[in-house]
Amino acid sequence: MSQRGTLKKISLVAAGCSLTCGILTFGATLWFWQTGAKQIITGSLGATTFFFFSAAIVLYEMSRPLPPLPPEDKPPPAA
């Protein structure tokens, strides 16, 4: 199985950070929504939450190791 390179490991860490930020902003969105804050703040936090979660998904997919390539078929010898 192929291992992650250095840049793929950095991408995986960034995905974890983005997921953490998404969870925090989701909590802040729920808190502002329950306390009756201005709708612009709640909407902005909701959009920020969506951004962090989607960025986490993209960064995780970028960090996945590539599958090994199939062996090349050798052409038949020339006659």
Could you write out the three-class secondary structure of 17-48? HHHHHHHHHHHHHHHHHHHCCCHHHHHHHHHH
Cα gap 28→37, rounded to integer Å: 11
What is the model's pLDDT at position 39? 86
Residue identified by tokens 């960034």 is: 14
What is the model's pLDDT at position 70? 80
Quote the tokens at residue 31.
């808190």
The full set of domain ranges for the chain reads 21-63
Q: Say if pTM beats, i.e. exceeds, 0.85.
A: no
Three-state DSSP state, 58: helix
Residues of the chain with pLDDT under 50: none
What is the model's pLDDT at position 57? 97
What is the model's pLDDT at position 79? 64
Quote the tokens at residue 77.
């010898």
